[in-house]
Amino acid sequence: MSEEQNPTVEEMEQDSAAAESASAEGSSDNLSELEQLQQKLEAAEAKAAEQLDLAVRAKAEMENIRRRAERDVQSAHKFALEGFVDSLIPALDSMEQGLAHEATNDESKAMKEGLELTLKMLLDALAKKQVEQLNPMGEVFNPEFHEAMSMQESPDHEPNTVMAVFQKGYTLNGRLIRPARVVVNKSKPTVNTKA
């Protein structure tokens, strides 16, 4: 073998140094690429999390809208008769006022019976539609359902109880349409001094 074919130690050291230098440059390029990929991955994950959050919020909002619409429809069904019932109340009041008068002869007694039956049929029909008549006679005064027209003292009644009813009240599915107009006892309870 000739010297030209065999590399010298110097040449081998130079080649080794060049290879190490190239390897170091390649690994630094690989490191920079890896950092870029890591940053892109983090950005993509942040965007995906943001999009998921938006999707979850949109779904929750749609669910709220659906529930609200269902509630509105139920309420509309439940209270659709309110105006109609409100317009019937004066007729009911008139019938009850007519029934309050005493029948003096056979003809007026027959008319009164017919009026009582008509009123009962009408109240029964309204009850089927969840309309309730409030007749609080003898009950404790409740400002949510009763309207005090006056207050009087009476030893025969408990304090704060309804002594008389001017007009009966009405509710539809628990919602007040008209309060009962009443007279309330304002006397204080008697204190028993005997022991």
φ, ψ for residue 163, nearest 5 deg: -95, -30
Residue 4 lies in a domain: no
To the nearest whole number, what is the mean pLDDT of the chain?
85
Domain check: are 51 and 102 in the same one? no
Position 32 scores a pLDDT of 86
Domain check: are 129 and 112 in the same one? yes
Residue 194 lies in a domain: no
Domain check: are 48 and 95 in the same one? no
Residue 142 lies in a domain: yes
Position 5 scores a pLDDT of 58
Domain check: are 47 and 14 in the same one? yes
Position 55 scores a pLDDT of 93
Q: Is residue 169 within 8 Å of residue 149, measured between CB atoms?
A: no
Position 81 scores a pLDDT of 85
Position 2 scores a pLDDT of 47
Q: What is the pLDDT of residues 32-80, one digit of tens each?
A: 888 899 999 999 999 999 999 999 999 999 999 999 999 988 888 778 8
Domain check: are 54 and 86 in the same one? no
Position 20 scores a pLDDT of 63
Position 116 scores a pLDDT of 93
- The domain of 54 spans 10-80
Domain check: are 89 and 180 in the same one? yes
- CATH number of the domain enclosing 147: 2.30.22.10
How many domains is the chain partitioned into structurally? 2
Residue 41 lies in a domain: yes
Position 155 scores a pLDDT of 85
Q: What is the DSSP letter of 129?
A: T
Residue partners of 170: CB distance under 8 A and separation at least 6 = 85, 89, 131, 132, 133, 134, 176, 177, 178
Position 1 scores a pLDDT of 45
Domain check: are 69 and 103 in the same one? no
Position 19 scores a pLDDT of 60
Domain check: are 100 and 176 in the same one? yes
Residue partners of 152: CB distance under 8 A and separation at least 6 = 163, 183, 184, 185, 186
Domain check: are 68 and 125 in the same one? no
Residue 110 lies in a domain: yes
Positions of the chain with pLDDT under 70: 1-28, 188-195
Position 103 scores a pLDDT of 83
